[in-house]
């Protein structure tokens, strides 16, 4: 009889513990389901955030492109006759044309081909055919850039034509301004055209010579700053 009562007590205890475990399991399953739902919700929120971020990035890119386009248009308008074929040959505008070098707000073309070279007039015509003109050197900084970029070739007297000539006995640049620098290498000479030579000191590198003397040359055009 006692054994039967012990068995009954044990059975009741096991049944109660089993019921408790089932309740705990059910609670865990409910919590797991809740966590799963919360995870799915967070994933959806994350995806929404990613989509919103992508939309914002695209909008920012459009704004940047629009701002860049406005700057390009403003820069183009500043030219009396904008040479689109020179600056935007493939529909994409650049600050300087291909093979030109930018310095400050100008682009420079250094003609470095071999002979036959060009007279001053021929050089200017070639520059003008590229919607530019022979270089106008208006500061020591520009002189330094030009002098450091040209190359020595043939002999000490060969150089690069610059846009400086004597007009009414006054040394005048092709833009009509009078020269105020006077970086002459041979100031005693009386010829009417000027070139810059490489094998000379910085402030004594302009060489007076005749138009018929053939040299390389330098063109200059305003850079497309945007």
Could you read off the pLDDT of 114-133 as tens digits, one per residue?
A: 888 999 999 999 999 999 99
185 or 4: which leads in pLDDT: 185
Specify the residue for token string 């865990």: 28
Q: Are residues 73 and 90 in the same domain?
A: no
Q: Where are the beta strands (DSSP E) in 96-222?
A: 101-103, 106-110, 133-134, 160-167, 170-173, 193-196, 206-209, 216-222
Residue 187: CATH number of its domain: 3.10.100.10
| Tokens encoding 46 | 């994350």
Average pLDDT of 33-56?
66
Mean pLDDT of the chain: 86
Q: Are residues 119 and 217 in the same domain?
A: yes
Q: Kindly give the pairing relationship between strand 170-173 and strand 206-209.
A: unpaired
| Range(s) of the domain holding residue 117 | 86-222
Q: Which of 77, 102, 118 is the last residue of a domain?
A: 77
Q: Which of 47, 77, 107 is the last residue of a domain?
A: 77
Q: Are residues 124 and 96 in the same domain?
A: yes
The pLDDT, as a whole number, for residue 130 is 95
The pLDDT, as a whole number, for residue 20 is 77
The pLDDT, as a whole number, for residue 32 is 78
Q: Hey, which residues does 133 pair with through a beta bridge?
A: 220
How far, in Å, CA of 129 to CA of 105, rounded?
Answer: 21
Average pLDDT of 69-91?
82
What does R_g of the chain's alpha carbons equal in angstroms? 40
pLDDT digits (tens, 9 = 90+) for 148-186: 999 999 999 999 999 999 999 999 999 999 999 999 999
How far, in Å, CA of 117 to CA of 131, rounded?
Answer: 20
Q: Are residues 14 and 121 in the same domain?
A: no
With bands split at pLDDT 50, 70 and 90, how would you rate the model's confidence at 56? very low
Q: Are residues 99 and 49 in the same domain?
A: no
Q: Are residues 56 and 91 in the same domain?
A: no
Domain count of the chain? Answer: 2
The share of the chain scoring above pLDDT 90, in percent, equals: 60
Q: Are residues 200 and 101 in the same domain?
A: yes
């Amino acid at each position: 009889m006692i054994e039967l009562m012990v068995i009954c007590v044990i059975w009741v205890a096991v049944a109660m513990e089993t019921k408790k475990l089932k309740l705990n399991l059910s609670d865990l399953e409910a919590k797991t389901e809740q966590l799963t739902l919360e995870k799915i919700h967070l994933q959806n929120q994350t995806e929404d955030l990613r989509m919103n971020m992508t939309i914002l990035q695209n909008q920012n890119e459009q704004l940047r492109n629009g701002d860049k386009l406005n700057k390009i248009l403003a820069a183009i308008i500043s030219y009396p006759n904008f040479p689109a074929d020179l600056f935007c040959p493939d529909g994409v505008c650049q600050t300087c044309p291909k093979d030109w070098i930018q310095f400050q707000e100008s682009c420079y073309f250094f003609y470095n081909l071999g002979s036959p070279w060009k007279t001053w007039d021929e050089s200017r015509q070639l520059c003008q055919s590229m919607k530019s003109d022979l270089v106008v050197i208006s500061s020591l900084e520009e002189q330094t850039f030009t002098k450091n970029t040209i190359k020595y070739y043939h002999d000490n007297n060969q150089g690069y034509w610059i846009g400086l000539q004597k007009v009414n006995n006054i040394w005048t640049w092709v833009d009509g301004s009078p020269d105020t620098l006077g970086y002459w290498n041979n100031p005693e000479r009386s010829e009417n055209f000027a070139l810059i030579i490489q094998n000379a000191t910085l402030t004594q590198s302009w060489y007076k010579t005749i138009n018929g003397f053939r040299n390389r040359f330098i063109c200059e055009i305003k850079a497309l700053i945007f």
